Amino acid sequence: MEENVFHHVLPIQLRFNDVDKFGHVNNTVYFSFYDLGKTEYFASVCRRVDWNRTGIVVVHIEADFIEQIFASDHIAVRTAVCEIGTKSFQLLQQVIDTKSGRVKCVCRSVMVTFDLERHETIPLPEEWVADICEYEGRDLRKKKR
């Protein structure tokens, strides 16, 4: 996955209070950047999904914090779906410095699709899978063996 090409990049506007008393962006705030990248990704890629009926729920998230981010840095979140199963899919994200291109943080998360009315997990809608694979330029469906 290291050679992953990210098609989706969202510049992030830092806020004054993102920075904690150590003078760098607080670790907990990174996850709201990833949240924003994820939201924009699905809003732009999966246009045929009715977001009032279908939600995305994070079940697992893991992040490696590589370098600090300071108030004056210009950063962006890169987002890619990297694997699609029947009931869940994986997202790979990075926070990068847009000037240097350096990777500040890497995040992997596992998500499930959720029926917001019946409050239960559902298989990924087919049109959703198709849209994502087309956007990413490859078949992301997990191979059955």
**Contacting positions for its own copies (CB under 8 A):** 12-13, 15-17, 19-23, 26-29, 31-32, 34-36, 39, 55, 57-65, 71, 116
* Full DSSP string of 72-90: T--EEEEEEEEEE-SSEEE
**For its own copies, the closer CB: 40 or 141:** 40
Closest distance of CB 101 from its own copies, Å: 21
Q: Is 115 helix (H, G, I), strand (E, B) or coil?
A: strand
**For its own copies, the closer CB: 26 or 98:** 26
Task: Return the percent helix, strand and coil in the chain, to nearest 5.
Answer: 25, 40, 35
Taking phi over 0 as left and psi of -120 to 50 as alpha, with beta for the rest, 119 belongs to left
For residue 80, what are its two tokens? 């890619």
Closest distance of CB 36 from its own copies, Å: 5
**For its own copies, the closer CB: 66 or 130:** 66
CA-derived radius of gyration, the chain: 16
Closest distance of CB 89 from its own copies, Å: 15
**For its own copies, the closer CB: 5 or 52:** 52
Closest distance of CB 94 from its own copies, Å: 15
